[in-house]
Structure 1
């Protein structure tokens, strides 16, 4: 019997103090194709054990030194799934049955035939191989999920609980074919989230097709979505493939879906229900395998109740939801986002990144940010370009921002500022508390206490480097 080349060979760890019995068992198992490691005592066999070892154990109950029964719980404490087969004398059967209740795989009563030994060991090896394969699969899945999460963290930047919930939802939905509705204020990154749903799904090898419904004239909307045949209308000089058909096996992103004309909503509903489209001027239905991700800055259910959006379409596309938090509700992410956008701007404009101090950071944290992440990126661009204004990101004539976040009491506001200042200082110091304490002009013990109290993850800041 041989193992698959990709799997480690599973060995038999044989422990038997009687030399003749040990040799006979070893020869029978090796003739059956098993690799055998034979020992006269538990003490010499211990070194072969480690969690996940490709082993099964065949061990005599009565041994000099540590007995098989005494060794059993020690082995299972290391690896609960490792098959442990006891070899018993006639008077030890009751004891062996009790050992099986405690986790032993099986027992063989002396005297036994070679065939009985081989058959029992073969079953144990099959079980061990399956356990190891499942463990490897779980490890690979965990590694894939970790890589996906790490990839998402590089795209959806921030460590706030709000943005972490968004990342978790994306990873959960990306593996499905469910249509998704994204809610969020202007500038919160709805298209970015839609792209993440596509890029982390099995559809990533196919097209991601964005379409802004707000900029879609009603007389062209049907052609844009479903396409047309040559000659279907006066200006239709050649065949046109619509966005639905072009996104076959990929993702169609319908931004500002609340702006879609009601007449077109009827045809969109039919396409979603039937999963097929008809080009204008054609009677042939074309099957489509297209995932639809829609986005809106308005509550579609409320619009449907006011008859400004079709209720049947709402219930068709609202299978799963992702709600994006406004920037004012994830202020702790502002320093990291601002630094990231400054680096992007510096590369784009071929400029050095200007330094930013605690005062600038405090002012950034105080902004109401009605334009959300998009407005913050604009602020970073202005900062890198050194454009004038009351603050580096403000156009002339704009009123100064309030001195503190609008939401929360004074204690909460001070906590935001303090955590942001300390996190930024640690990030600049690459996690070095001594350097951060010097920059903040704080005693090191005080800074350590604040890091603990505010729940700042130094390890995460070091990994960002």
Structure 2
């Protein structure tokens, strides 16, 4: 248990400090936090530790933190503490999956005992996962990125290979396909798993503060900078930084970020002192970055430097055969999240789900699963209307198009392995691609690197 982490969150400084010092007397190493948000950057599937949190706090409270952690990994032990005698709150916490619930005042000896049992349980969970992976059974990556189609099998294979390599990675995929899930999985199977995972939405950064947000600043660097501040890059030291929708990064900032990628050094605004940066960068994009380069909106040298390894996350259209099983899994997850039991999905709904088009990909499918579990699937205008009955020829054509699109994505646009795997001639493959309007390259071949 040498690497086990105990994350203690309490907004009251005196309580936080005294609890940590007392737990350390019992031989437990504790990291303390005044708010819940930073903890979410440290908790993942590979997190070897326990979270102890006060319930009533400004900002994100303990119950919300519990729900957010369970979305990442439902088997992370969370111990909630409250100073209010509230039976209903305790019952709600237990139903939501809390490991244990404590009421103040409590003895530190009692808390230490609960923490040790939670540590043992977490260690057992992680060991069982490791053994299942070694035995070739369904592991955490497959649970988080389910699917039996070849494109998903290939994605999981590449992800496992890249994960341990610590290489900067570019993840390409449509909106809602699961790019951030892939990025988080890369972090969780890497040696950086117990370090921060910092997600930065490049499209949402305020233009007037973007450099300060990323690089940090010294006191007096600009009006209103009253004290020094770490930027998000520095805050992620030792861990992984996700640059979501990197194509939205302002062109002027791209040159500065390129220097960070190359030299792994940052300089805070208002300072001349370089700060070493030990991080792994993962970037995502829903747009063709090669086309952005051609349009003059993205730097070619930054693209070359970013895509040391590239992962393509397939759309649901490219893995249509996975939709029914994926929907059933999302229904089970939603039922657990909303504490609903015995949710049965009628066969006719599964058929309807499988035949629909899902432009919003997994995100849209998850919303549909949530609506079904909440009983809202029949509300007017809430979900797409069932498709009109299709002729058999139309269904066969749609299935054939999906198979070819999946094979093209799986082999990065290389045609030979596609027609060999599908058992057709090169001429037949060309004709069918032309018939269905399929392009052999999901992105531009000139700048594509499939690892």
Same fold (TM over 0.5): yes
Q: Which residue of 1 aligns with 2:320?
A: 331
Q: CA deviation at 1:143?
A: 7.2
1:404–1:413 CA contact under 8 A, matched in 2: no
Aligned to 1:211: 200
Distance 1:333 1:404 in 2: 20
Pick aligned residue for 2:250 from 261, 265, 277 = 261
Displacement of 1:401 in angstroms is 3.7
Cα separation, 2, equivalents of 1:189 and 1:285: 35
CA distance 1:253–1:169, shift in 2 (3 Å): same
Please show how residues 27-46 of structure 1 align to structure 2 within 5 Å: none
Question: Equivalent residues in 2 for 1:52-63 (5 A)?
Answer: none
Deviations 1:248-288 (A, max 9, x none): 12100000111111111111011111110001111011111
Partner of 1:439: none
Decide which moves more: 353-362 or 235-244.
353-362
Of stretches 155-164 and 254-263 in structure 1, the one that deviates more from structure 2 is 155-164
Counterpart-to-counterpart distance in 2, 1:246 and 1:319: 24
Compare relative contact order (CA 8 Å, sep 6+) and give the higher one, 1 or 2.
2
Deviation digits for residues 117-139 of structure 1, max 9, x if unmatched? xxxxxxxxxxxxxxxxxxxxxxx
Q: Could you tell me which residue of structure 1 aligns to residue 370 of structure 2?
A: 381
Which deviates the most, 219-228 or 166-175? 219-228
Distance 1:404 1:173 in 2: 42
Whole-angstrom CA distance in 2 between matches of 1:313 and 1:165: 26
Cα RMSD of the aligned pairs, angstroms, is: 2.7
Runs of 5+ consecutive residues of structure 2 not aligned to the other structure: 1-129, 403-451
Cα 1:284–1:146, aligned 2, differ >3 Å: closer, same or farther? farther
Contact 1:213 1:259 in 2 (8 A): yes
User: Residue 299 of structure 1: which of 288, 294, 298 is its match?
Assistant: 288
Structure 1 residue ranges without an equivalent (≥5): 1-140, 418-465
Indicate if the aligned counterparts of 1:353 and 1:384 stay in contact, CA closer than 8 A.
Answer: no
Task: Tell me the SS of whatever aligns to 2:139.
Answer: helix
Please name the residue that 1:194 is paired with: 183
1:411 matched to 2:411:
no
Partner of 2:153: 164
Any idea what SS the aligned residue of 2:370 has? helix
Do the aligned partners of 1:363 and 1:403 also contact (CA within 8 Å) in 2? Answer: no
Partner Cα distance (2:243, 2:294) in 1: 21
The alignment status of 1:354 with 2:354, answered yes or no, reads no
- Residue 74 of structure 1 corresponds to none
Q: Provide closer, same or farther for how the CA distance between residues 146 and 162 of structure 1 changes in structure 2, counting only shifts above 3 A.
A: farther
Number of aligned residues: 273
1:368–1:401 Cα contact (<8 Å) kept: no
SS at match of 1:323: strand
Aligned partner of 1:341 in structure 2 is: 330
Q: Do the aligned residues in 1 keep the contact of 2:358 with 2:365 (CA within 8 Å)?
A: yes
Name the structure 1 match of 2:162: 173
- Aligned partners of 2:294, 2:309: CA distance in 1, in Å? 20
Deviation at 1:303, TM superposition (A): 0.4
Q: Residues 235, 176 of structure 1: CA spacing in aligned structure 2 closer, same or farther, 3 A cutoff?
A: same
* Structure 1 residue 245, shift from structure 2 partner: 1.2
Q: 1:388 to 1:272 in 2, by over 3 A?
A: closer
1:388/1:144 CA distance change after superposition, 3 Å: closer
Query: Structure 2: how far apart are the matches of 1:306 and 1:355?
Result: 50
For residue 413 of structure 2, what is the aligned residue in structure 1? none
Distance in 2 of aligned mates of 1:352 and 1:307: 53
Structure showing greater Rg? 1
> Secondary structure, in 3 states, of the residue corresponding to 2:208?
helix
Whether contact under 8 Å (2:133, 2:139) holds in the other structure is no
**Structure with greater helix share of residues:** 1
1:141-194 per-position Cα deviation (integer Å, ceiling 9, x unaligned): 997655796121111112211111110011010111211000000000111000
Residue 382 (structure 2) pairs with residue 395 (structure 1):
yes
Report the 3-state secondary structure (helix = DSSP H, G, I; strand = E; otherwise coil) of the residue aligned with 1:387. coil
- CA shift in 2, pair 1:313/1:383, >3 Å: same
Mapped contact 1:149–1:167 kept (Cα < 8 A):
no
CA contact (8 A) 2:368 2:377 kept: no
* CA distance, structure 2, for counterparts of residue 342 and residue 142 of structure 1: 28
Runs of 4+ in 1 over 4 A off after TM superposition: 141-149, 402-406, 412-417
Distance in 1, Cα, partners of 2:152 & 2:286: 18
Distance of 2:243 and 2:260 partners within structure 1: 14
